[in-house]
Structure 1
């Protein structure tokens, strides 16, 4: 059976909003083996490349100017695919862009029934994850060329090797496939200093010029984004400095904002907060402050002692601005250009005593075999191989089902607020943070958990908070001679 492994690089994340394909790579498979036939090309997208997309693939508008247009190779792409299945990792993304490009030219794109998402294949093999391509490469121990940035043909070749390993078919060598790749474009300059731009072919599609109304709308949106960020910054300052919930409310109003608590009329429980500036209002959920934020920790809201004071804020807000249903200011709806409005959370947001942890977490059992493996990791400090950590991650014990807030409470009670590796783990993305916390709760040293979680991310250039990177480097420096975290030798500079 013939299959096509496909990957694209684009100018942004939304084909619907006009982002274009700037590179495509395809590899032909017959009965699971690479035939050596590939299709690879760069394209001039005739539009700017978003900064986030440029961080992924490193291609800029200047580098792509003078490359062929997608229209020049559209029919060749369709001919290469034919009626055969198309394999792609997160195929919905690639399918939308290919369809948009083909429909823009009046061509019929590959049908929906042709696309096969390799994430589903990975999930059948590893129900507990991982599903990301980089992590699958590490888990399946596939040798790949050094890849600091993404490339369509390189990613397609890696995906072909992953698919072969997942299916139990003969391995696919990536190097011969990459030898046929097109030269990567560069923004070369002539001796005079001007960019070396080749004549550009006529484009069949031209983005219409923006009207005065469009320009005014963009200016209004920029002002709206700035107002949302200004409000977020004031709440962030109050959030960082507050020592209690009443102190937080007072600091918010001192900063020039107004705050309205959403209180239950029957129980007095806090459902959320509304923050209002002179230009815009935002709900606490938009800032990443859910109900659970105020149910525990330093900013815990206690209706029995704080209800009357909190109702006073509600009454003053209603007297000045009326009911929320008659709000005159616009609700904060930032554009996709605007940075995230989520507050930077404190390093450990849950403060819990040992008694509270015991009451909430209960007795979490760890199997005897798992306990011995953990003791070996902590005692011998061996090479932290993926097989051992996968076993630790998927251990069938009560920690596998513990909620994140309980994990945080337990690790804080066990290790305290001064543990640098633990503080760094709290800044990891949600999935990685919860995975590392489950390891720590089973008894694994936080330094080992942090190193193993960050190693694949740093190897492939995944953006991480500076506190995470610095903590990993500090651990690496202090433990290199003791042969700890040895699997980070090639990923973290001492």
Structure 2
């Protein structure tokens, strides 16, 4: 199962009043394991960035002025996402901005059922607790040393770690849930290829004879005979 954990930075809070995307960050996950593939782009929003937003993201109007427009970045983003499920924190916010930008280009927008909202998952898992990305990183002991400002790729990398913890952490990789690759609820380890040369037995003839005699002394109900262990 392929999923894309992503985040957006924007000029404001409402895509319906002229606010635009300024940064996109994506992290690819397959079967709950990060593949190392990422997508990142700054976007010229074609409008000024308010001071209060600059204080949060560090992205100024001047910095973004020579960056590509969403006309160029949008198709690249769509190609990277492909048909994967999209994972975001407070997904309705990011979905609203992505769909607004795609609609402006005449591209297909993403339906609601393409998204997973980690904030919603966290609220269900930890009722009454703070579920901001920072709070969840602290809960799961995920380092925030790289995050002095909000950044789309940095936040996506952090969110990928949070998402994996929310979905079961390392135990999920062992397929304890039974929802993995046909494990039926059992721990599934990857199959190992056979040895090039089988190991040779180390028992001597006298040792095998002594063991057989020991088993005979225990009678016909001996466990070794029932299990045909010789």
State the TM-score, normalizing by the size of structure 2: 0.71
Give the root-mean-square deviation of aligned CA atoms.
1.3
Q: 2-side partners of 1:148 and 1:36: how far apart?
A: 22
Aligned length: 171
Could you tell me which residue of structure 2 aligns to residue 46 of structure 1?
46
More helix by share: 1
The equivalent of 2:154 in structure 1 is 154
2:76, 2:110 → 1: CA distance?
13
Which residue is equivalent to 2:164? 164
* Structure 1 unaligned regions, length at least 5: 172-494
Q: TM-score, normalised by structure 1?
A: 0.34
Cα offset, 1:123, TM superposition: 1.6
| Residue 102 of structure 1: aligned partner | 102
Distance 2:27 2:146 in 1: 20
* 1:340-419 matched pairs, under 5 angstroms: none
Distance 1:105 1:167 in 2: 35
Aligned to 1:72: 72
- Residues 52-82 of structure 1, C-alpha deviations (whole Å, 9 max, x = no match): 2111101111011111111112111111112
- Relative contact order: is structure 1 or structure 2 higher (C-alpha 8 Å, sep ≥ 6)? 2
- Residue 124 of structure 1, CA deviation: 2.4
Q: Give CA deviations for 1:199-228 in whole Å, capped at 9, x if unaligned.
A: xxxxxxxxxxxxxxxxxxxxxxxxxxxxxx
Matched-pair contact (CA < 8 Å) for 1:78–1:110: no
Partner residue, 2:6: 6
Q: Which residue of 2 aligns with 1:119?
A: 119
Cα deviation, residue 13, structure 1: 1.1
C-alpha distance in 2 between matches for 1:52 and 1:123: 28
- Are the aligned partners of 2:88 and 2:117 in contact in 1 as well (CA < 8 Å)? yes
2:17 alignment partner, SS class: coil
Which consecutive residues of structure 2, in runs of 5 or more, have no partner in the other structure? 172-230
More strand by share: 2
- How do residues 253-292 of structure 1 correspond to structure 2 at under 5 angstroms? none
List 4+ stretches of structure 1 deviating above 4 A.
none
Tell me the SS of whatever aligns to 2:16.
coil
Paired with 2:159 and 2:134, the residues of 1 have a C-alpha distance of: 10
2:82 alignment partner in structure 1: 82
